[in-house]
Amino acid sequence: MTDAMNATGEFAPADNFSTQELSVIASVNAVAVAIPEAVELPEVPNGFIEMGLAPELIHAVKDLGYTQPTIVQKKTIPLALPGEATAEKAARYIDLMVSSQTGSGKTAAFLLPVLHTLLKQQAAAENLERADYDRAVAEAAAKGEAPPKRAKRKDPTNPRNFKAAAPGALVVCPTRELAQQVAHDAIDLVQHCRGLRIANIVGGMPYQLQIAKLQNANLVVATPGRLLDLQRSMQIKLDEVQFLVVDEADRMLDLGFSDDLAEINQLTIDRKQTMMFSATFAPRIQQLAARVMREPQRVTIDNPQEKHVNIKQVLFWADNAHHKRKLLDHWLRDTTINQAIVFASTQIECDGLAGDLQQAGFDAVALHGALSQGLRNRRLMALRQGQVQILVATDVAARGIDVPTITHVFNYGLPMKAEDYTHRIGRTGRAGRDGLAVTFVEVRDRRKIFDIEAYTRQHFQSETIPGLEPQQRFPEARPGTGASFGGRGNHVADRRPRERSFAGPREGGFGDNRSGFGGRPATGPREFAGNSRDFSGAAREGFSYERKGGFNDRKPAFAKPAGFAKPGNGGKVFVPRDTVKRPAKPAR
């Protein structure tokens, strides 16, 4: 058959071939002609190289699996990098206010330009030091002297060589988990950078360990409380900070760190650049920016009100807590779940729900602010390593957890603030991946759902599970406008008059507003232990009840005289205030 190949590589018909063989050869020729030659597509250039970042950082980003920057990185990094320095003026830095959705790459958007500038400054300092040494060697050779020796590096672990850390960049985060996540990302980015050190300073960890990590640190990622503690004890100096980044500024103000931010601002008053990342540009954020920034430039990629296109959001109404627990159990048995986070409203609910899930056979652990920092770190590490499938957490985990394998987020308890909902569901669908957010709501939570709908500018379509349908009737739309999230609103249901009845005493009632013990008296006299009396002012005067025996067993006590000895006061006579005759004031 090889002899029948022509110059073009096709089969040439021969006389010694049968009809069947000729048909096969014809079909092969047709296929060979139909398949075009492989076209090599041009390789897309690395977007980080076009930004002019240092080669060490580009190598690290490529090792992490990223070659193209996200939208927020494309717009933020060029602005955050310093301008060209000239002989007349130094490089100019721009203060930035950046707002973007969760999972859009904001951390790398401020880490990459800061690390790039620190690398350039470090290289310039090394070149200057090398030039000074070469000049000293040349001067010694001209004089015929021995060349000077290089200075030995001092051991930072020796107490005699201790020197307070003076970082060049500072990143302030509201929660410990977020600070640890940012520090982890920074360590990954400097894996090919020689001489750059990253330190993470958070509360709940031993002081001595953190002080040792601070030695020669170039970038410090910290929470405000522990940072100021170390600064007041002279373990860190902030007067050499050139770049200050405030991450999640809205959450920082929610947690009451406004005074700490003002103090950090004064301690780093000589810095060159300030960058603030926040979910929204609320008025309080603008006031903070006006105090700590110089003519900031705003960068708004997308706001939390815009719908997460890669996260499917569903809502299920529940009759009560038992019904909601059944709905959660049904969802957690879905085989498509890789890892999930179940958000609870309180720490007690978080611990109880995690214990119930463990008894039901689920691999679940709890995470909230009352746990020790060591235990929180171990549980987060177990989640990242895939050792834990379900994390039951409060809003402490709503920010700062970046685990790509989280496919589902369940809102078992609703957040206290509407904007925290967007941060919760942002734990899934990271970096363009698909995710699913499921919310369980009782009728008492309808106001919060209405406020979340108003904040996110979208309406939740409720769904049901066959066999677990709710028995109550739930609202489908928000009736009017309400007040702030979780507060009183002017809903139609709130304006209905309360039903009250004054038909007589109610058996077994306590604290009732009808006739009966513990409530307001009905019209007419009221009976107490067989004694009838009214509640007028004349009846109270000179008559009281003394509690004896059971809760409802009250007997009339003696009438108090105008003055009597009170036990335990040394025999002094007690005189009611109404019977004291005060002398008239002298005329002026």
Considering the domain architecture, whether residues 201 and 140 belong to the same structural domain is answered as: yes
> Does a structural domain hold residue 499?
no
d(CA 425, CA 340): 11
> Does a structural domain hold residue 186?
yes
Long-range pairs for 357-365 at CB < 8 Å and ≥24 separation? 357/332, 357/390, 357/392, 360/329, 362/332, 362/389, 362/390, 363/388, 363/389, 363/390, 364/388, 364/389, 364/390, 364/391, 364/392, 365/390, 365/391, 365/392
Successive 10-residue mean pLDDT values, the chain, 588 residues: 48 51 54 48 69 90 86 90 65 87 82 93 88 87 84 72 86 90 92 90 88 89 93 92 91 83 92 86 82 87 63 89 92 89 92 92 90 87 89 84 86 87 82 84 88 84 87 61 40 39 38 40 42 41 42 45 48 50 59
Considering the domain architecture, whether residues 199 and 261 belong to the same structural domain is answered as: yes
Considering the domain architecture, whether residues 213 and 166 belong to the same structural domain is answered as: yes
> Does a structural domain hold residue 23?
yes
- How confident is the model at residue 325, as a pLDDT? 92
Considering the domain architecture, whether residues 283 and 327 belong to the same structural domain is answered as: no
Considering the domain architecture, whether residues 285 and 319 belong to the same structural domain is answered as: no
d(CA 505, CA 65): 75
Considering the domain architecture, whether residues 365 and 423 belong to the same structural domain is answered as: yes
Considering the domain architecture, whether residues 245 and 337 belong to the same structural domain is answered as: no
d(CA 342, CA 391): 6
Beta strands in 389-486 (DSSP E): 390-393, 406-411, 435-441
How many CA atoms within 13 Å lie on the side-chain side of 305? Answer: 8
Considering the domain architecture, whether residues 261 and 395 belong to the same structural domain is answered as: no
- How confident is the model at residue 156, as a pLDDT? 63
Range of the structural domain that residue 10 is part of: 2-34
> Does a structural domain hold residue 343?
yes
> Does a structural domain hold residue 241?
yes
Q: Is 68 helix (H, G, I), strand (E, B) or coil?
A: coil
- How confident is the model at residue 119, as a pLDDT? 93
Considering the domain architecture, whether residues 365 and 346 belong to the same structural domain is answered as: yes
Per the structure block, which two tokens stand in for 310?
A: 């890669």
- How confident is the model at residue 373, as a pLDDT? 83
Angle at 346 between CA 444 and CA 374, to 5 degrees: 165
> Does a structural domain hold residue 274?
yes
d(CA 419, CA 278): 11
> Does a structural domain hold residue 40?
no
d(CA 414, CA 535): 47
Considering the domain architecture, whether residues 268 and 319 belong to the same structural domain is answered as: no
pTM above 0.85, yes or no: no
d(CA 68, CA 61): 10
DSSP letter (8 states) at residue 443: G
Considering the domain architecture, whether residues 294 and 322 belong to the same structural domain is answered as: no
Number of domains present in the structure of the chain: 4
Question: How many whole angstroms from its chain centre is CA 281?
Answer: 17
What residues form DSSP beta bridges with 273?
A: 243
- How confident is the model at residue 429, as a pLDDT? 77
Q: Which helix (H) or strand (E) holds 351?
A: helix 347-359
Considering the domain architecture, whether residues 459 and 514 belong to the same structural domain is answered as: no
For residue 442, the domain's CATH number is 3.40.50.300
